[in-house]
Structure 1
């Protein structure tokens, strides 16, 4: 299965494990083997990859979507994911060291995705956006706030072509020129 729009930051890439292909919904995290494929693609350590880890990521993905959509209670759900981990800072031979301590290690990737989302949001509240081309369900990271589509080659071209054909149709259906 080939997934569109790869290479986004972790939280955005987690959101994009769901996409539409030829009118069909696809979910790379629908199975544990899909989870393993996603981890390989992202070059993330496989570690424990079982149903519980998959479920934590699916849950966090839905929470992130709810936060972006501004749904009631979504921030509390995101905070509940974040509360599963704690960043511990220490000074070690003059160097700042950080490590994440988790209440349950199976939440590590989900916690990292939630933490990444907060980091990206710190660059601007609208820096993570949904593609403006229906029926696309992909998200992208754009700190400039100017981007509209997940990709110019795909959704951007389709949107521009649709506008062009609409203009051509409007011009073609106008009044007949005088003879």
Structure 2
């Protein structure tokens, strides 16, 4: 899976973590299934923490499940989010008149997971319903849109497929009409 090209990169960190699972030609793929995939995601998200380790992968998959649950409104999601947040503590302080922040972790393996969940909190503060699932029925990707107008993860992919389907429905005669 090393170097696997995944769709819809560049979303905010929380959404990017959720999108480490996607569907390609009917097959479900998971970038975090392997340590190589974990290394790729850490590098792509700017969180290169040194050696890629299984405990980091386990923490990120737990955080991803918590984020998915929160976005989908599943029971117990808030507790799952809070369990990840409990792994770190942000300490604010002054340094030469500037407000600074340092995060203390119960275990450094939780840093990327904690940062992704904090990103979710920041996004929901901007737009409570801003993280949404793509409107294409076969797509499992999410995106952040604070305006609430976007319907698809990408216009060039899922948006064009949906528009093409609507066009065919309106303009291609049914078999019984021929």
Compute the TM-score of the two structures, normalised by the length of structure 2. Answer: 0.93
Q: Distance in 2 between matches of 1:134 and 1:149?
A: 10
Q: Pairwise CA RMSD of aligned residues?
A: 1.6
1:40 has 2:43 as partner: yes
1:136 has 2:118 as partner: no
What SS class does the counterpart of residue 122 from structure 1 fall into? Answer: helix
Q: Distance in 1 between matches of 2:118 and 2:50?
A: 19
Shift of 1:58: 0.7
Aligned 8 A contact 2:90 2:101 in 1: yes
Aligned residue among 159, 162, 165 for 1:162: 165
Matched pairs, number: 174
Q: Distance in 1 between matches of 2:33 and 2:64?
A: 12
Identify which range, 154-163 or 37-46, moves more after superposition: 37-46
Shift of 1:149: 0.2
State the match for 1:111 in structure 2. Answer: 114
Q: Distance in 2 between matches of 1:48 and 1:94?
A: 36
Shift of 1:48: 4.3
Shift of 1:46: 2.9
Segments of 5+ residues of structure 2 without an aligned counterpart are: none
Q: Distance in 1 between matches of 2:51 and 2:124?
A: 29
Aligned residue among 30, 33, 37 for 2:33: 30
